[in-house]
Amino acid sequence: MSAARDLSEQRTFLIDLTKCTGCRGCQVACKQWNQMEAEKTTFFKGEGYQNPSALSEHTLTAIQFRDYFHEGKNEFAFYKAMCMHCNDPACVSVCPVSAFIKTPEGPVVYDAKRCIGCRFCMIACPFGIPKYQWSKALPLVVKCTGCYSRIKEGLIPACAKACPTAITYGGRQEMINEANRRLTVRPGKYMNRIYGLEEAGGTSVLYLSALPFNELGFRNVTKRPLPSRTWAALRFVPAAFITMGGSLAFISWLTHRKEKIRKEREMIEAEQASQKEDRP
Ligand code: SF4
Ligand code: SF4
Ligand code: SF4
């Protein structure tokens, strides 16, 4: 599928983890731009020092922290987790109401108005990215949008703009060329691998690292594009989960519908009341 398309201009992140200082400017910029709620966190909870500990319904990008021993010294490494904006996104392929869309520019965006809450996207995503708003009465799915609204205005994503050292942003081919240049110029500095070049058929987020990616917590993902296989894979998801997903989807759809009707009724009543007041 991707072979037939020209992806060279897809907007792409090159994240060089050897240059990441763990300042979390990207995390803060993302929160600010997307007006995400703060979340109550616990320091030293879970692996590493990251805070918050993982992506969540309130956190679209998070710096993961790893410490390790190298030549007898304790070293640190950081990993910016976010949606990979896959070339052939599994989330898009499984969504029964087309709430996920792969834009021509590259970012994979999500239309909350269409979502019925089935959460198939969460099962299908090989990177575990979409999160569910468990804290909300009317939960939806949330994930990084690639700052599509900014891109449409000719800006770069808020996290890329805020990053002082590690993120380079541009056309996919240009980012691949730049990654290869760094691997060639400093072969001892990096693992000889660009994560995202082929994973899940290729992504619009590429990483360079000094450490093996699995040691940093990266998932070992197939190189094949997933959409053709996603529904087949979903067959292996326990039936109870699918049934539960379907039931939740139906309940969510009903709740959305009831809410819509309630709002429309309130608007009509308010309009009628104001017309009465206007009468002489
Ligand atoms: S990483 Fe997951 S959520 Fe993001 S585009 Fe790929 S399949 Fe979709
Ligand atoms: S691209 Fe935008 S939404 Fe995604 S992590 Fe960066 S700032 Fe957040
Ligand atoms: S802003 Fe850049 S250097 Fe700072 S934590 Fe994020 S990716 Fe790392």
- How do the residues of the chain divide into helix, strand and coil, expressed in percent and rounded to 5? 35, 15, 45
Residue 18's pLDDT band (cuts 50, 70, 90): very high
What residues does ligand 2 touch, defined as CB less than 6 Å away?
29-30, 33-34, 60-61, 82, 144-147, 157-159
The winner for highest mean pLDDT among 41-45, 102-106, 253-257, 258-262 is 102-106
Residue 92 Rama label (left phi>0; alpha psi -120 to 50; beta): alpha
The two most distant CA atoms of the chain are separated, in Å, by 88
Selection from 144, 109, 106 nearest residue 10 by Cα: 106
| High-pLDDT (> 70) share of the chain, % | 77
- What's residue 28's pLDDT? 96
Cβ of 129 closer than 6 Å to ligand 3, yes or no, is: no
CA-CA distance, 100 to 93, in Å (whole number)?
A: 8
Supply the residue whose CA is at minimum distance from atom 1 of ligand 3.
163
- What pairs with residue 74 in β-bridges? 69
- What's residue 280's pLDDT? 53
- What's residue 72's pLDDT? 84
Whether 80 shows a pLDDT value over 50: the answer reads yes
Residue 227's pLDDT band (cuts 50, 70, 90): low
Residue 190's pLDDT band (cuts 50, 70, 90): very high
- What's residue 265's pLDDT? 57
What is the CA(162)–ligand 3 centre distance, in A? 8
Q: Are 108 and 144 in contact (CB under 8 A)?
A: no
Q: What is the residue whose two structure tokens read 């819509």?
A: 260
Whether 237 shows a pLDDT value over 50: the answer reads no
The ligand 3 atom nearest the CA atom of 19:
3
The winner for highest mean pLDDT among 68-77, 88-97, 271-280 is 88-97
Whether 85 shows a pLDDT value over 90: the answer reads yes
Boundaries of every domain in the chain: 2-16+144-228, 240-280
Q: Which ligand is nearest to the CA of 168?
A: 3
Hey, is 129 helix, strand or coil?
Answer: coil
Q: What does the pLDDT look like over 120-175, one tens digit per residue?
A: 999 999 999 999 998 888 888 999 999 999 999 999 999 999 999 999 999 999 99
Whether 208 shows a pLDDT value over 70: the answer reads yes
Total-model pTM: 0.82
What is the CA(144)–ligand 2 centre distance, in A? 5
Cβ of 26 closer than 6 Å to ligand 3, yes or no, is: yes
Mean pLDDT of the chain: 84
CA 73 to chain CA centroid, Å, is 34
- Considering only residues 34 and 69, tell me which one the structure prediction assigns the higher pLDDT: 34
* Residue 256 to residues 91, 116, 143, Cα–Cα distance (Å): 21, 8, 20
- What's residue 106's pLDDT? 96
Whether 198 shows a pLDDT value over 60: the answer reads yes
Whether 231 shows a pLDDT value over 50: the answer reads yes
- What's residue 75's pLDDT? 80
Q: What does the pLDDT look like over 241-251, one tens digit per residue?
A: 445 455 555 55
Supply the residue whose CA is at minimum distance from atom 2 of ligand 3.
163
Q: Are 252 and 114 in contact (CB under 8 A)?
A: no
What value does the mean pLDDT take over residues 109-116? 90
Supply the residue whose CA is at minimum distance from atom 4 of ligand 3.
23
What is the CA(255)–ligand 2 centre distance, in A? 29
- What's residue 256's pLDDT? 53
